[in-house]
Amino acid sequence: MVKEDLRLLFLHEFKLGNNAAQTTANINKASGEGTTSERTVRRWFKKFCGGDESLKDEDGRGWSFNLLNKDLRAIVEQTPRQSVREISQQLGVSISTVLDHRK
């Protein structure tokens, strides 16, 4: 799913009055586990609460590819038997992001 599509879903769920946990569950149920994280939804809801309903990301937001690889490598070295789900929760990214960076 394209980021802009997800953001539109976040806004839709926000306007329906759903909280971040409900929104995350709804999107992951419909589009597959790991499609989004509650942390991401909370960030967008905070933006919407401030009155900014634009769906464009702020400049400089998101993970640097090298930073994520470094953090992921450190986690795997410390506890190599951790599941992808646990790692994604620890880093605050989706499961698919962890899988993409483990390749």
DSSP 56: P
| Res 36: pLDDT | 93
| Res 58: pLDDT | 65
For residue 91, the one-letter residue type is: L
C-alpha span between 87 and 76 (Å, rounded): 8
Q: CA distances (Å), 68 to each of 8, 32, 93, 103, in order?
A: 26, 22, 10, 13
| Res 29: pLDDT | 96
- For 33-54, the pLDDT digits (tens) are 999 999 999 999 999 999 999 8
pTM of the model: 0.57
C-alpha span between 42 and 57 (Å, rounded): 14
Low-confidence ranges of the chain (pLDDT < 70): 58-68, 101-103
